Chains A and B, each alone.
Chain A
């Protein structure tokens, strides 16, 4: 199954490299929204909870773009049939798509975090960076897992572009809550380990639960 997932992932990355559809769009969107916030909030620098909130909400909205495109290519070009005809484990498709989304989000964040620090952040980013990276990775896992599932769900509906944000955003609220709440004291510089532990714990719980659910139900989406 891993082999199949790797094959599909390779194929998706090859197409993404060639079309450059998802990652540049997500990145551009994120930076643009940062600028929007600058004007909308009329601030030169953000701190504390405002900074944390702006960062995470923007990342989530960018994730919606990535999720929308994830299964679009399969729906448009008959990719699902090709996979269904092969003697492979179909959950590999979810694994591959979730892995792709995880990669896209990580690349996005490599650009977005420095941009955020440059444009909007008041205090210095560097001391917060290690823990922030940890939070980003934990959040990305949950987003990737639920994003791949939502993308597959929406792919068969008449208006996937509408359904994806409506489905995804409520479902990722716990991620937003945990990540933003943990990042706020982090950016202020006064985070306590128990606090961080609590939020990381919730994030991990979210990740585990939704990875398990996605793996359990994904086959039913493809089986006809």
Chain B
């Protein structure tokens, strides 16, 4: 059910990732102040953006689940959030590496995307204990959806709050990506965003397909056992 289009999608993903890596290493210029290390930005920021979108998408899918009662929407929501948390861990790690290399500290509060991301990440980490400490599977899906919706709405508000709070002179990456990125950097950046997005969607579909298959296997096994008994 979920594996439709998986093959062309995977191929497209591999191609895009290869292309973006090539651009990052060979096309984009070395940053004047930070040197080669600045290139982590091409990994770190797209991952952050896609992860945040993944969280919000998880919330939208949760709305669909509550509206239709179709458990497949709950599965989609769960996997989207799950993927975003994984991507998010990498965001925080690459963020720390970049911060250390560029500014000498493992963590900086000046970067609003990173800070707001930390808060969002901490929040979504609670998704697992919340979900798995509810025993009734029906209720589990419903409560997780309520959480996903509230947290999904939280993401933009939190980002706005942190952004307003950190009105500093430190060069803010996202303000760069709007207009002031020079052409070759912008191209690389956009390609990287596309690649990471494709990666997210492909992995999301992959995990859903895998879960669906294992569910069906379990169901068949149960039926066989019931008939044998």
Contact = CB atoms under 8 A, between A and B. Distances in A.
Contacts of A36: none
Contact of A177 (B147, B151, B162): B162
Contacts of B161: 173-174, 177-178, 202, 206
A156 B134 contact: yes
Nearest to A150: B150
15 contacts: A156-B134, A157-B133, A163-B126, A163-B130, A167-B130, A170-B122, A171-B154, A174-B154, A174-B157, A181-B165, A202-B164, A205-B157, A209-B157, A220-B66, A221-B146
Interface size class of B (residues with CB under 8 A): 20 to 34
Interface string B145-182: 11101110110011011101100000000000000000
Given A149-B150, A174-B157, A156 B143 contact: yes
Interface in A143-199: 146, 149, 153-154, 156-159, 162-163, 166-167, 170-171, 173-174, 177-178, 181, 198-199
A217 interface: yes
- Identify which of B134, B146, B153 gathers the most chain A CB atoms within 10 Å of its CB: B146
Interface string B55-71: 00000000000100000
Nearest to B67: A220
A210 interface: yes
A-B pairs, top 10 by smallest CB distance, nearest first, are A170-B123, A174-B161, A157-B133, A158-B133, A177-B161, A166-B126, A217-B146, A170-B122, A177-B165, A173-B119
B142 interface: yes
Contacts of B135: 158
Contacts of A198: 164
B129 A220 contact: no
A157 B134 CA distance: 5
A120 B152 CA distance: 37
A146 B147 CA distance: 11
Contacts of A206: 157, 161
Contacts of B100: none
Given A156-B134, A163-B129, A177-B165, A217 B149 contact: yes
Nearest to B59: A213
B130 A217 contact: no
Interface of A: 146, 149, 153-154, 156-159, 162-163, 166-167, 170-171, 173-174, 177-178, 181, 198-199, 202, 205-206, 209-210, 213-214, 217, 220-221, 223-224
Contacts of B123: 167, 170-171
Contacts of A163: 126, 129-130, 133
B139 interface: yes
Contacts of B129: 157, 159, 162-163, 166
B33 interface: no
Nearest to B139: A156
B126 A173 contact: no
B225 interface: no
Given A171-B154, A174-B158, 18 more contacts: A146-B150, A153-B130, A154-B130, A156-B134, A156-B139, A157-B130, A163-B129, A166-B129, A167-B147, A170-B154, A174-B157, A178-B161, A198-B164, A205-B157, A217-B146, A220-B145, A221-B142, A224-B138
Nearest to A198: B164
Contacts of A224: 138-139
A27 to B, nearest CB: 27
A154 B144 CA distance: 11
Contacts of B122: 170
A29 to B, nearest CB: 22
